[in-house]
Structures are given as C-alpha cells and as structure tokens.
Amino acid sequence: STLQSPKSKISLDRLSAHLQEFLSIAANQAEQHGWHLYLVGGAVRDLLLTDSDQPVMLTDIDLVVDGFHRSADVGAGVELARSLQRLYPDVRLDIHGRFQTAALLWHKDPTFDSLWVDIATARTEFYPYPAANPEVEASSIRQDLYRRDFTINAMALRLTNPRFADTRKGPGELLDFFGGSLDLQAKQIRVLHPNSFIEDPTRIYRAVRFATRLGFEIEPQTERYIRHAIASGIYEQIQDRQVAGRVIAPALQTRLKSELKYILQSSYWKAALNQLAHLGALRCIHPKLELDDELRWQLRSADRWLHRLDRSQLLPSWQLLLEVLIAHLAPDDRASVAQNLQLSADGIDRLVQLEPVRSKLESLSISLSPSQIVQYLKPYELPLLILVAVKSSRAIRKQIWRYLTIWSTVKPPLDGNDLKALGYKPGRQFKQILDDLLSATLDGRVHDRAEAEAYLAQHHAPNS
C-alpha cells in the first residue's frame, strides 16, 4: 500500500570496527527474536552525507526494533537493550518505559570511548491535540519514520538484512520512503507532512538548526508550513496552557530549551537566530520577542565580554545568550519566561535582579570615584554584571568594564601581617583599616608601601 523509493545499499565499513561489530551483534540478537533492526535518523544522514572514502565517527546512534514482544508492557527495544547489556557488562542501561525506549551508554570506555545508543520500538504516535506528548503504540518502521521531523532524518538502514549477517561488512538496505536522499543532494530541509510544525513547534528550531549547520535551505513549501503554524497562533496557546500548568507544556518547553541550547552553543548561532527571527519563530519564546539591532548588539557584546574576561567556565555562553534574549522582554515578563523555559535558579534570579540593579546604577552620578564604584558593584557576580552592562548606558558600561578588568583585582600595598608588624592589634578594626587602605589605593591616594604607611599614620594611629 505504500510507495517505496528504489532500494539502495549503504556500506557500514566506514564506521569504526567496534561499532560495526556492535551493530552486527545487535542485529543477530534481534534476528533471534524474529525482529528487524534498523539504524535510523542522524547516523544514516551522516553516512550519506560524508564522502564515500571518509571514515564516519558516530558517538550517538538511534536504532529502531520492529517487532512485537510477548509482554505488552515491555517493548522489543527494551528487551533487545537488556540482552545487549548482558553481552556488554560495562554499559549503562537507561529505560524510559512509557515510550518503550532504552539507551545504552558507554562513557570513557576502552572500546567505544563514548557512545550513546538509543533503542526504540517501531511505533506510531498520535497527537490527540496539537503539541501534546505522543501516545505510543507498536507499529511498523515506515510509521516510525513518518513521525520524524525531516526527510533527511527519516531514513533507515536495515541491519537485519540476511546479507548483512553473511559478512560483517555486508551492505545494508536503505529505506527512504520520503525522498530523503534526494533532499540531501539538493540540500533541502523538508517536512513529511503539512501539520508537522503544529504537532511539534520545536521542529521549527530544528529546521533552522539543520539548515544553518549543514548549509541547507528550508524548502519553500516547508517554510510556508512554518509560517502557517506561527500565524495560526499555536504558540500563544501553548504559552497560556503552560502558565495554567497543563501537563503538556513542560515537555514542549524542555525541548524548546534544549533546541535553543544546541543553537546558542554552536558556532552558527548568529545566522540561526537571524533565520528564526526571519521566520517569526522567536514568538515561541515570547509573542513580543523581536531580534532588533539593539538585541543583536547586546548578544554580541555579552558573548565578547564573557570570552574576553575568559570566564566562560563560570557560565556557559549559551546560557548567558539565552538570558540576554529574555532580558530583551519587558522586566515584568522576564521571570515567567525564564521559568517556563526552566532556566537555572541562578539564571531566573539574575533576570529578576537585572532591572533593579540596572536602574540603581543608572541613577548614580557619573563622577563617582573608583572606590565608590567598587562599593556599588562588589555585591554582584560577573554574569549579572555582564547582563547589566549590555543593558546600560555607555558610561555605566565603561565603569563596569573597568571594575571587572582592573579595580576588582586591586589590592592595597599592605596586608594584615604588615599591620601586625606595624604594631596594630588584630581585631575588628583590621578589616575597616584594610578597606580604607584599599579605597585610598583605588582612588590613587596611595601607590606603594611608603605612602600606605604614611596614610595609616595620618588616618589610623596604631593605638586608636
């Protein structure tokens, strides 16, 4: 009943020997149960995409088992994963029962180094209403592929082809029901059906991610589906449901956040954001979010500050960029958007503090001395100061920059031991004296030990 494109074969011999062996063992196990096993998704795409003489390094593969299991509660995928775990005792097995999927994880393993294998059971997903979590039911591989995002990600390579079992390097049959290999050649991102983006709006972000990463184009009809989905206002509904605490939205928001993370931590984040904005897709984050020149500038400078200050270990830059995006909304909207996207508690806190801190700094006189500025900025951590800086006037921004690069590292020429040697009794006033000395140093009234001692003699007599 279904159309199938002409069969072709893909060789697995460009995969590492260990991975080829693993796939062959997995296929044997599946065959023993009378099931079929397929390599699907990104791995097939990458095998077709790379030059035929290049090795293909896969650290993350998706397998689909097509077959019924005697128990209604455990999918064939879970059962296969369990039997593979018996053969590979070092592997970690995670089971996500509701969706009949299992994951095998090798981490810093002598054989695989790092490998993540997801094993799913072929299934159909029904969407009882848009953007809902899928309901799962065992079904055939074609239906499994049909629920995927784009034609280039919806191809499968049959591993249980009898000819594959003959020889370890035997060719696998390519199942390409939707024209994925043609789209790979034509460099097109194409969905499988018109409702795809209404079912799952995060696919818009995925479309942009694959297009910018691979240098592909979003196929024109697919772009119209995106625009239609956005025009239909589904995102506003989702956000409302989310606020009302309905069960469906958190999963969607989690996936949206993880797509945003992928995009913002990539080297192509600027191009991807531009394309998302062009499609109107930033409305998925908030209906009023727009990528204007000001926001572009803020994103670039936040990123630059984080790297120049060489403190990206303090906060991953994708997180800071996401906070800058949210900070572009009106202050009253920021916290709820940050909560919806499940930002870290620190991130939510920063977005809440941003406005009061910014307006407090903005209200200060620009003729403050360095020590006064240090006094104001000291309570705040670097990530918040970067957010404040990109949202502030040039004058304030310069002060924050000087604080971060110079003033925050200044130390007075004398320390507590020096004070003791000079006859001061250790005690509460030590800190006060040292703070005072630091201020004098910051403001250029004290430059070295001699001046520090003279300053002390004048302002803090030892027996006071």
Nearer to ligand ATP, 145 or 295 (CB): 145
CB of 45 to ligand ATP, least distance (A): 6
* Interatomic CA distance for residues 397 and 400, integer angstroms: 5
Nearer to ligand ATP, 79 or 149 (CB): 149
Q: What are phi and psi of 96, to 5 degrees?
A: -110, 90
CB of 207 to ligand ATP, least distance (A): 10
Residue numbers at the binding site for ligand ATP (CB under 6 A)? 41-42, 60, 62, 148-149, 153-154, 200, 202-203, 206
Of 198, 136, 157, the residue nearest 38 (C-alpha):
157
Nearer to ligand ATP, 60 or 443 (CB): 60
Q: Which amino acid type is present at position 338?
A: A
Nearer to ligand ATP, 103 or 446 (CB): 103
- The helix, strand and coil proportions of the chain, stated in percent and rounded to the nearest 5, come to 55, 15, 35
The secondary structure of 220-269 as a DSSP string is HHHHHHHHHHHHTTHHHHHHHHHHTT-SHHHHHHHHHHHHHHHHHTSTTH
Long-range pairs of 422-425 with CB within 8 A, sequence gap ≥ 24: 422/453, 422/456, 422/462, 423/462, 424/460, 424/462
CB of 149 to ligand ATP, least distance (A): 4
- Go through 350-377 and write b for each residue having 16 or more CB atoms within 10 A of its CB, e for each that does not: bbeebbebbeebeeeeeeeebbbbbebb
In Å, how far from its chain's centre is CA 190? 23
* Interatomic CA distance for residues 405 and 24, integer angstroms: 57
The DSSP output letter for 266 is S
* Interatomic CA distance for residues 283 and 285, integer angstroms: 5
In Å, how far from its chain's centre is CA 388? 23
CB of 100 to ligand ATP, least distance (A): 15
Nearer to ligand ATP, 264 or 414 (CB): 264
- DSSP SS3 for 46: helix
What Rg do the C-alpha atoms of the chain give, in angstroms?
29
Residue with tokens 């920063």, as numbered in its chain:
350
In the bound state, the residue with its beta carbon closest to ligand ATP is 42
Nearer to ligand ATP, 22 or 205 (CB): 205
CB of 50 to ligand ATP, least distance (A): 12
Q: Which residues contact 254 (CB under 8 A, 6 or more apart)?
A: 342
Nearer to ligand ATP, 158 or 206 (CB): 206
CB of 44 to ligand ATP, least distance (A): 8
Nearer to ligand ATP, 255 or 311 (CB): 255
CB of 172 to ligand ATP, least distance (A): 17
Nearer to ligand ATP, 213 or 300 (CB): 213
At CA 200, angle to CA 78 and CA 93, rounded to 5?
20
CB of 322 to ligand ATP, least distance (A): 18
Nearer to ligand ATP, 16 or 336 (CB): 16
Residue with tokens 């001699």, as numbered in its chain:
450
CB of 162 to ligand ATP, least distance (A): 26
Residue with tokens 């508690």, as numbered in its chain:
345
Cβ atoms of 93 and 77 within 8 Å: the answer is no
Residue with tokens 């023993």, as numbered in its chain:
32
CB of 118 to ligand ATP, least distance (A): 8
Nearer to ligand ATP, 145 or 438 (CB): 145
CB of 54 to ligand ATP, least distance (A): 16
